[in-house]
Amino acid sequence: MKRIMWIIVLAVLTAGTAYANFLDEFNSPVLDPGWQIVNEDSTHWSLTARPGFLRIVTKYAGGDTIWNLFVHREGIAENFEATTKIIARPVVQGQCTYVYADNDSLSQTKPRAIAGFGNIVGYGEGLLGWIDNNMILIPYVDTMVYLRIRTNGDTVFAEYSPDNSSWMTLISAWSPPFTEHQQSGVNAMNYPPFGGTPTTPEINADFDWFHLVALTGVDERLANGRATPADYLTVVPNPFTSFARIPGYERESFVVYDVMGRKVGIYSGNRIGGELAPGVYFIRGLDTVSAAARIVKLR
C-alpha cells in the first residue's frame, strides 16, 4: 500500500470546507481533484513517469517564482498532521524538496513551516526544518525519508523518520495559526537562496504518498494557548563534550537516536551521552510524553 518554501505565490487558493482526512497514494494517472497546482509547468511533474508516485522535477525558482506548488484545496482546521514519503537525492547545492504548511497564502509571503530534504550552500546535504524565521539543517545522506508537519495548539513541529515509525523533531516553535486559511502541500525546486542557479541540474523528487489528517485528540495547551512544557526537553550543556543532563528529569530514562533514527542507547537524565561518539543525536523520554530534542556531542 502507498500512502513542502518560504516564498509562497500570492495567489487566491480555492478553500473548501475543513477536511478530516485526505490521503493520496498517487496510484491514478489522473491528479486527485483535491489538489491545486500553483504556477504549473506540466513538463516538470508527472503521475506516470514512475507509476504509483507523484514525480516533481526541480526547476529553477528565478524571480521568486515557485513552479508546481501542489496545494491541498481544503482549509485546515485546528490541529493537523501533513505527512509524506520522499525519494530524492539533492547532491548539488540549491536542490530541495519538502512538505509544507502555509499560514495564509492570501496574505503571507512564506509558509508557517516546512520539513524538507535539500542541499544548502555552506551547509551541505541534509534534512531541513523551518518554522517562521527559525531554521535547522542536520546531515542526512539517504535517498528516502518520511517528513511531517504537525501542530499542537500554537506549537508547530517539523519532523522526520527513516521508517515512518520512529519520528524525530527537526525543529519546533510557537507559531499561532490563521485558522481560516491554513493549507498544506508538497513541492520540489532549485532554490536561489540555497545556492541554486539556472544551471543547477534538475533532479526527480518522487512522492510515494501524501496524508493530511485532522487531529481530534486532546489539545495539550496551557491557559495561555501555548504547548505544555512536556513538549520540550532542556538539555544542558548542549553542545557537550563529556555528558549532558536534563534538569528536573534526572531520575527518568531517555532513549538516544542517531540521525538515521537508530536507537543507540538508553540513559538516565542526570548523565546522558557519556559513551557516544561525537555527532548529532536526538533524545526522547522513555516514560514521558515529549518531543525529541536535538543534542550535539563535540570532540
Grid cell of 70 as nine digits: 501542489
Grid cell of 41 as nine digits: 509547468
CB crowding 1-37: b at 16 or more within 10 Å, else e: eebbbbbbeeeebebeeebeebebbbeeeeebebbbb
Query: How would you classify the pairing of strands 54-57 and 21-24?
Result: unpaired
pLDDT of residue 290: 54
pLDDT in tens, 183-214: 889 999 999 999 999 999 999 999 999 988 87
DSSP conformation class of 221 = B
Q: Is the dihedral of CA 275, 281, 287, 288 positive or negative?
A: positive
Beta bridge partners of 285: 254
Question: Phi/psi at 31 (nearest 5 deg)?
Answer: -65, 135
pLDDT of residue 90: 94
Where exactly are the structural domains of the chain?
Answer: 21-214, 233-297
Please say if the pLDDT value at position 72 is more than 80: yes
pLDDT of residue 47: 96
Cα(6)–Cα(133) distance, integer angstroms = 9
Beta bridge partners of 134: 131
pLDDT of residue 181: 56
Cα(89)–Cα(94) distance, integer angstroms = 12
pLDDT in tens, 229-255: 344 567 888 788 899 988 878 888 888
Query: How would you classify the pairing of strands 183-190 and 168-174?
Result: unpaired
By the 10 Å C-beta count (0-12 exposed, 13-18 middle, 19+ buried), 250 is classed as: exposed
pLDDT of residue 60: 95
pLDDT average, residue stretch 18-27: 76
CA 183 to centroid of chain Cα atoms: 14
pLDDT in tens, 104-116: 544 344 457 899 9
pLDDT of residue 103: 60
Q: What is the mean pLDDT of the chain?
A: 79
In angstroms, the Cα distances linking 255 to 150, 152, 240, 273, 278 are 21, 23, 17, 10, 17
Q: Decide which of 3.40.50.1970, 3.40.50.80, 3.40.50.2000, 2.60.120.200 is the CATH code for 21-214.
A: 2.60.120.200
pLDDT average, residue stretch 57-77: 86
pLDDT average, residue stretch 127-135: 85
| pTM for this entry | 0.67
Query: How would you classify the pairing of strands 253-258 and 54-57?
Result: unpaired
DSSP conformation class of 236 = B
Q: Are 32 and 209 in contact (CB under 8 A)?
A: no
Task: Report the percentage of the chain scoring pLDDT > 90.
Answer: 36
